[in-house]
Amino acid sequence: MSEVTLAELCIFAASEAFRGNGEVVATGVGPVPRLGASLAKLTHTPELMMTDGEAYLVEQPVPIGPRGDYKPKFAGHLPFSRFFDSAVWSGRRHAMVTPTQIDRFGQINLSQLGGTHQQPKTQMLGVRGFPGNTIYHPNSFFFPSHTPRVFVAGEVDMVSGVGYNPAKRVPGGNYSAVDLRVIVTNLCVMDFGGKDNAIRVVSLHPGVTFEQVQEATGFELERGDIVETALPGAEELAIIARLDPHNIRASVIKDNPPARVGQA
């Protein structure tokens, strides 16, 4: 068997974010989060719900990329036209997404960089559903390139998702469902379990040091009880390969490195 790749390690780590979540819609946006959610459903958390990536609920996660003869089998229907009432605003969802920026409060940005709101230097997608997702249901994040441009000093340029910044909280608002869970990157896994929900490193990928992670982050990180990030086993690797028959995962992290540094 070929060497486990860093992308596969990240998929395995992403799947752990969904462990024991119950009957909620597990949404992974992008190949690694989607494969992670699918792997979770096919291994430790079969009660998860998920869509075919469009509008139908499936009990067998749909492989990514061109499908050939494969036909998804639909078990239910969850179109955008019902998405807010059924999944988001009911809190019955856990999404893993990749914003453009994140700050020490867990505030995220997908909308614009630099300039002003009237004239941004770089216009991106817009806030999409981030404001609603973050105030109503659990969220996790995946970043294929852990750098200070992503993990920014100060605050994100446009706060598109709610974090744990007390200065942003209008008194009297209900923030009880704000629940940021896990951050998986090409270097490590972090959570929000530090002081006042500060971001802390909980596992380092093989061969990565805490100092390297800190160096790649624009704000100070806390240290959890750091362990080495677990590698997927043969069963998980086989499921990942089946769910990604075109090896799209190989294009996610630059140069598709192996999970263990120094092995190629």
Partner 1 sequence: MSMLDKRMTPAEIVGELKDGMTLGIGGWGPRRKPMALVREILRSDLKDLTIVAYGGADVGMLCAAGKVKKLVFAFVSLDAIPLEPWFRKAREAGQIEVLELDEGMFQWGLKAAAFGLPFLPTRVGLGTDLADLGGLKHVQSPYDDGEVLIAMPALKLDAALLHVNRSDWRGNVQLFGPDVYYDEWFAKAAARTYVSCEELVDQMEDHYPDTAQANVFERCFVSGVTHIPCGAHPSSMPPAYGWDMKAFKAYTDAAKDPGDWNAVKDRFVGADEAAYLESVGGKEAVAALPLPVF
**Are 252 and 185 in contact, with CB atoms under 8 Å apart?**
no
Query: CB under 8 Å, gap of 24 or more: what pairs does 171-175 form?
Result: 175/135
Stretch that binds partner 1, among 11-19, 78-86, 227-235, 254-262 (CB under 8 A): 78-86
Tell the residue number behind the tokens 């390690």, with chain if given. 9
Return the number of the residue (136 or 142) whose C-beta is nearest partner 1: 136
Q: How far is the CB of 131 from partner 1 (least distance, A)?
A: 4
Stretch that binds partner 1, among 106-114, 226-234, 239-247, 253-261 (CB under 8 A): 106-114
d(CA 2, CA 12): 16
d(CA 167, CA 154): 13
| CA-based nearest residue to 129, from 164, 85, 160, 94 | 160
| CA-based nearest residue to 51, from 82, 76, 17, 88 | 76
Which residues inside 144-203 make contact with partner 1, applying CB under 8 A? 158-163, 165, 168-175, 178
Interface pick for partner 1 out of 20, 22, 76, 115 (rule CB under 8 A): 115
The number of residues that bind partner 1 (CB under 8 A) is 54
Return the number of the residue (129 or 232) whose C-beta is nearest partner 1: 129
DSSP string, 66-88: --TT--PPEEEE--HHHHIIIII
The answer to whether residue 257 forms part of the interface with partner 1 (CB under 8 A) is no
Return the number of the residue (160 or 203) whose C-beta is nearest partner 1: 160
Interface pick for partner 1 out of 5, 98, 134, 140 (rule CB under 8 A): 134
The answer to whether residue 54 forms part of the interface with partner 1 (CB under 8 A) is yes
Which residues inside 80-99 make contact with partner 1, applying CB under 8 A? 80-81, 84, 88-89
Interface pick for partner 1 out of 43, 92, 120, 230 (rule CB under 8 A): 120
Interface pick for partner 1 out of 122, 209, 214, 263 (rule CB under 8 A): 122
The answer to whether residue 119 forms part of the interface with partner 1 (CB under 8 A) is yes
Please tell me what DSSP assigns to residue 248: G
Interface pick for partner 1 out of 76, 126, 148, 233 (rule CB under 8 A): 126
CA dihedral 32, 33, 38, 41 (to 10 degrees): 140
Residues in CB range of 106: below 8 A, 6 or more apart: 161, 163, 164, 180, 192, 197, 199
Return the number of the residue (22 or 131) whose C-beta is nearest partner 1: 131
Report how far apart, in Å, the C-alpha atoms of 236 and of each of 36, 39, 152, 177 are. 10, 7, 33, 31
Residues lying near partner 1 in the complex (CB under 8 A): 52-56, 65-67, 79-81, 84, 88-89, 107, 111-112, 115-132, 134-136, 158-163, 165, 168-175, 178
